[in-house]
Amino acid sequence: MKRILLLAGLLLAACAPKSDMDKYIDSLMDRMTLEQKLGQLNLHAVNGLVTGAKLSDDDANVKALQAGQLGGVFGSGDLAYLRQMQDIAVSSGAGIPLITGMDVIHGFQTIYPIPLALSTSWDMDLIESVARMAAKEASASGINWVYSPMVDICRDARWGRIAEGGGEDPYLGGEIAKAYVRGYQGTDGVYDDHDVMVCVKHYALYGAAEAGRDYNTVFLNRQEALNGYMRPYQQAAYAGADSYMSSFNEFEGIPASMNNYLMNELLRDTWGFKGFIVSDYTAVSEEINHGIGDLQEVSARSLKAGLDMDMMADGFVGTLEQSLKEGKVSMADIDRACRRILEAKYKLGLFDDPYKYLDPSRAAAEIYTTENKADARKTAQECQVLLKNNGVLPLSKNARIAVVGPLAKDAHSMAGAWATSSHNGECVTLYDGIAEVANVTYAQGSRLFKDETLDRIVRNGGDYSAPQERLVAEAVAKARVADIVIACVGETNNMSGEAASRTDVTLPDAQKELLKALKATGKPVVMVLVTGRPLALVDEDASMDAILNVWAPGTEGGHAVADILFGDVNPSAKLTTSFPRSVGQLPLYYNHKNTGRPHGEFDPFKKFVSAYLDEINGPLYPFGYGLSYTTHEYGDVSLSAAEMPQNGTVTASVTVTNTGDRDGDEIVQLYIHDIYATSTRPVKELKGFKKVHIAAGESVQVDFPITTEELSYYNHDLEWVCEPGDFDIYIGPDCQRGGSARLTVR
């Protein structure tokens, strides 16, 4: 049956009239030589960008371009340089314009909070607008293709790249993926000169790297992958993403960049993706290290498995001709990949105007403008999670404040990982933001780490040669004469992102020492946490008066943090990753399975159940958690009907009341537990959320429609099914609190 449908589909496609794009590309490809076609499959870094073993040589790139051996370049936002490269591309070989890529991850020159921080806003319009703004700046700098969104689900805080994604939940991750695609590519299906093509990454499952070590092996079965990790990649395809980047890791013993199941079967045949797939940086040649074969072998297998473009390995351009001669690949395989890349260029409008994204008149009016920076500040206000507050926040602007800590004056760490802009050193620091509105003194307070080598690797300058004891003593002296201390501690931008895995996810030792000494002064201490990952903050939670997690808040970071600290803005962000109590709990995620011997998250140790001897099972701060300067109370959860037919709909509702004295935003969350199913199901799964503004003393009713979709999952046969039976429907302020109602599906 499947075969007949496939044949019928092929027949229909053959009979359908050809689109203008198809006709254009047919005639172009008729004129192209094999070498020119292979050149289109080749992508090189320029301007010294390096994220792997292989370096890119700019002179060699020019020669390759002149010889028609490059289909695209990435890593430069230098418009004049890209214009020169485009000049060469259109005047040599088949005259095909370059696609120009860049790691535009959270803004371009105006830097927004890191993606993990953006996800804690739970605000899809906000994320879409961040992507829109980044597209505007990037497209005014000669870039037409961005290596974003990064949608890898991650349950392990040791992995440094958790900073680049949307957290641990596949449903939220799917919504975020769609928002980014809408923002970058636009919503009308046509690329205007402010729209850029996305490259969804890293396909697939990179975030499940074993033990959080970067580039490590992934061990997951298909069912767990589909239920727990794949939704964001799938939703991005449904939203119209036009390109994907294959990941470094393997899946089921096959590297992702040569994985036929991932690329051809799932992404293309099942989800209907029609665009092109580029490898990650030297991922093709790394397949040699994976133990698959030599460069020719791995290149041929990657092409056949559905990879279209080779980033930096020179495997396609260097070996596919030989593989064609030996019958290891066919001309149809090469043509297919070449066509997909030409289609991307056609969709971008580069054949109509190769200089569409190379307009020098745009830069001054559109990049790093006052308006863009104001937008970054507003965004950063939505992305700070208040983890603890014993009432000390918000602060009075009249207080005498000691601002201390190694992150207080670190502008680069405000930008966070993957912020390639030249302005990173100009980000508003925490110190500057606070000093603008209050009366402050300053001391660096400590090194980052006690270990000198580690300290040197991660720091961005400052007086790190000073002995730790002296630094602490200076901070303590400042604290003693202040009314309140703001301790700016955490991770620098070099401690998260690519190749920045940690085995210990606590605050670095030197900074812990500083906090202890500050606490001993008896002054109230507000900890402002800069971090790219969830940290285990058990000691700090016990000792600090308040903890505000500001992540890496971007260009306007210091201003936006001061806006929250002094109460000009009421914090509303909520966590999208569980914060562990100890590194030994990792991987830690709220949507875990029950096991046959379940144990309560907060129950003390018991023998012969799934528990730790030396720690409770639960997180320190759960998924969905975050405080504000007001309080919200949740009423009972009600359902419009207690029973639902398989294809029906019910509405789950709750009334939320702002019981404090400040207006505020509340992120209301819907979770579902499938009590019995033919496969084991997680204890809870997020299936909806709404961010609502509630005035002090007011109540709002929040409704969530529940359809078969929210109740479905991939069963053991990998079918998306809603199985009849009972479901618990929870609505609450985070994954642990709130009420529930029982729904029966007949």
> Active-site residues: which are they?
280
Amino acid, res. 706? I
**Min separation Cβ 245 and ligand NOJ, Å:** 6
**Min separation Cβ 51 and ligand NOJ, Å:** 4
Residue 267 vs 583, nearer CB to ligand NOJ = 267
Residue 432 vs 498, nearer CB to ligand NOJ = 498
Inter-residue contact 92 to 68 (CB < 8 Å): yes
| Token pair in block for residue 712 | 């479905």
Residue nearest to ligand NOJ (CB): 147
Tell me if residue 730 falls in helix, strand or coil: strand
**Min separation Cβ 150 and ligand NOJ, Å:** 7
Kindly report the number of other CB atoms within 10 A of residue 545's CB atom. 18
CA 305/CA 71 separation, integer angstroms: 20
**Min separation Cβ 282 and ligand NOJ, Å:** 9
**Min separation Cβ 164 and ligand NOJ, Å:** 7
CA distances from 708 to 447, 648, 700, 740 (A): 54, 7, 26, 19
Burial status of residue 604 (CB atoms within 10 A of its CB: 0-12, 13-18, 19 or more): exposed
**Min separation Cβ 105 and ligand NOJ, Å:** 8
Report the 3 state secondary structure along 122-187.
Answer: CCHHHHHHHHHHHHHHHHCCCCCEECCCECCCCCCCCCHHHHHCCCCCHHHHHHHHHHHHHHHHCC
Inter-residue contact 683 to 593 (CB < 8 Å): yes
CA 610/CA 595 separation, integer angstroms: 7
User: Does an H or E element contain 541, and which?
Assistant: helix 538-543
CA 174/CA 228 separation, integer angstroms: 11
Could you please report the per-residue DSSP string of 298-334? HHHHHHHTT--BEESS-HHHHHHHHHHHTTSS-HHHH
Residue 258 vs 385, nearer CB to ligand NOJ = 258
**Min separation Cβ 151 and ligand NOJ, Å:** 12
Residues that bind ligand NOJ (CB under 6 A): 51, 103, 147, 201, 280-281, 498
Residue 289 vs 640, nearer CB to ligand NOJ = 289
**Min separation Cβ 357 and ligand NOJ, Å:** 19
**Min separation Cβ 494 and ligand NOJ, Å:** 16
CA distances from 343 to 6, 26, 196, 331, 340 (A): 23, 11, 14, 18, 5
**Min separation Cβ 498 and ligand NOJ, Å:** 6
Residue 147 vs 431, nearer CB to ligand NOJ = 147
| Token pair in block for residue 322 | 């030989």
- Contacts of 148 by beta carbon, 8 Å cutoff, 6+ apart: 103, 104, 105, 131, 134, 180, 184, 198, 199, 201
First to last CA, the chain: 30
- Helical H segments across 426-483, by residue range: 430-435, 452-458, 468-480
Backbone phi, then psi, for 638, in 5-degree steps? -125, 155
Inter-residue contact 329 to 307 (CB < 8 Å): no
Torsion sign across C-alpha atoms 528, 530, 531, 532:
positive
Q: Count CA within 13 A, CB hemisphere, residue 389.
A: 21
Amino acid, res. 554? G
Residue 243 vs 578, nearer CB to ligand NOJ = 243
Residue 242 vs 540, nearer CB to ligand NOJ = 242
